Amino acid sequence: MDALHAKYPFFEGARDAVANASASLPTLVAEDAPAVERARERVERALLEGTVEPEDGAFTGTDGRVEIRSELLSYPIARILVSLLDSEPAIEKYAAAEAATALDRLRTDLDADDGLRSTPTPRIDLDDALEEFGLANDVRAEPTRGSREPSHYWVAVGPYLRFTSPSWGASWRLVNRALADGAVRVSREELLEVLGAAIEARVREGLPFELDADEGIAPDLESRVAALKRLLSERTYTGPIDVVAPALFPPCMTNLIEKAERDVTLTAPESFALMAFLVGIGMTPDEVVAFCADTSLDAEGIRYQTEYLRDDRGTQYPPPTCETLANYGICHNEDDHMRVAPDPLSYYETRVEEADEVVDWREEHGIGGDESGSNDRASRSEQPDEKQPNGEQPSDEQPSGEEPDPTAN
Ligand code: SF4
């Protein structure tokens, strides 16, 4: 079984590999094979954390045959689970997470291909990826001197319009692009984002699908589907706290910000955790870009990630739990405060509630104001003046008790 198929399970070749696998999907499900549990993990992490990488570390394709087989077969089973969840927003989030994970893997492959690192992992190059999505003839590299990798490419207008969206930002609008001979100029990173959109469309295709009642898969997966639904409905995220007080951030987030300020590139889980936290405390994409202006995080990447994380009512993804961050080496559980709260956002909320006076970073720096109703933001620094004569806070300053459906857009 080809490890590349497990690494990129939405490739056409991977479908054939699944079709030719020794056991059918109904049999695997009935036997509760390891691929079934990995599929559940895939969906759970997609919905809650925006990635489908295994919890215990990224899949590289250098694992044993059993793990490779399990990784490959978990993909079609995950698609069955997502279909059974019967939630359009869940499908969108799942497809986006598969695409985000695949892009991370592709970037790692390309770094290796550039000679920046030496690794024996099975990998693809950019031409393979373009070929897979029928883009080989639609993308040409800008000539470079010597053997350097091209920094820019020209993408035919048709595919460019098909796979990009003006909602990605003004810089993606055709009017703001160099255009020549029916092709649009993009940077290498932008080309990867176009590929990400192609991957997402491929994953999204055909979901949800009806299961053949005779196969018996749905009853065998019933408990896992119920657990996923329960997990989603039990999320008690109450909406952004909407105050930015860096001095009260939990140590994990402070460490990540300081690391980025030293111009060190954050890993994908680190960047995801930080963005989810900043969005979770109510920051808009513009505010996050301003907040991270002097760091290794680039504005385009921040916008892409924060807009993915954010929905109309705030954040769709609470930051990963302390336990998950500990597994990634992001949390060092300073002062054993994992006892205080299960995730960085809860910990921060506790600190804000306990603080005597909190000055919002955005107000200090004159940032934000009208996006997503932030004019309504209550300045914690003003709280003492807004107390009622009896010393109690006015009730409309309390965080909303509304618990949005985390699967809803
Ligand atoms: S215990 Fe939680 S909040 Fe504290 S540093 Fe670790 S991950 Fe952050």
What is the reported pTM?
0.61
Q: How far is the CA of 255 from the centre of ligand 1 (A)?
A: 11
Q: What is the rounded average pLDDT of the residues 251-264?
A: 95
Q: Is the pLDDT of residue 339 over 80?
A: no
CA 309 to chain centre: 7
Nearest atom (ligand 1) to Cα of 343: 2
What is the residue whose two structure tokens read 């609470």?
Answer: 318
Nearest atom (ligand 1) to Cα of 348: 3
Closest residue by CA, ligand 1 atom 3: 344
Render pLDDT for 18-59 as a digit per residue (tens, 0 to 9). Answer: 888 878 899 999 999 999 999 999 999 888 778 899 988 788
Which residue, 278, 210, 275, 273, is CA-closest to 241?
278
14/42 Cα distance (integer angstroms)? 17
106/256 Cα distance (integer angstroms)? 24
Render pLDDT for 274-298 as a digit per residue (tens, 0 to 9). Answer: 998 998 898 999 999 999 999 999 9
Categorize the per-residue pLDDT at 342 as very low, low, confident or very high, splitting at 50, 70 and 90. confident
Cβ-based burial of 294 (10 A; exposed 0-12, middle 13-18, buried ≥19) = exposed
Q: What is the rounded average pLDDT of the residues 55-80?
A: 87
Question: For ligand 1, is residue 269 a contact (CB within 6 Å)?
Answer: no
| Helix-helix angle 34-49:65-85, to 10 degrees | 60
Let me know: does 380 contact 360? Beta carbons within 8 Å: yes
In terms of average pLDDT, the best of 102-116, 189-203, 302-316 is: 189-203
pLDDT of residue 345: 87
Render pLDDT for 195-217 as a digit per residue (tens, 0 to 9). Answer: 999 999 999 999 998 887 767 78
Categorize the per-residue pLDDT at 337 as very low, low, confident or very high, splitting at 50, 70 and 90. confident
Per the prediction, the chain carries an average pLDDT of: 81
Nearest atom (ligand 1) to Cα of 325: 7
pLDDT of residue 83: 94
Give the CA-trace dihedral at 38, 44, 49, 50, to 10 degrees.
80
Closest residue by CA, ligand 1 atom 5: 252
Q: Ligand 1 pocket check: which of 254, 324, 325 to mutate, most ligand atoms within 8 Å of Cβ? A: 325
Lowest-confidence segment of 30-39, 360-369, 391-400 by average pLDDT = 391-400
Q: Is the pLDDT of residue 89 over 80?
A: no
Helices (H), ranges, 65-187: 65-85, 88-113, 126-132, 157-163
Question: For ligand 1, is residue 313 a contact (CB within 6 Å)?
Answer: no
pLDDT of residue 381: 36
Q: What is the rounded average pLDDT of the residues 378-405?
A: 34
Q: What is the rounded average pLDDT of the residues 89-115?
A: 85
Categorize the per-residue pLDDT at 72 as very low, low, confident or very high, splitting at 50, 70 and 90. very high
Lowest-confidence segment of 148-157, 274-283, 376-385 by average pLDDT = 376-385
Q: What is the rounded average pLDDT of the residues 114-133?
A: 78
Render pLDDT for 154-200 as a digit per residue (tens, 0 to 9). Answer: 999 999 999 988 777 788 888 889 999 999 999 999 999 999 999 99
pLDDT of residue 252: 93
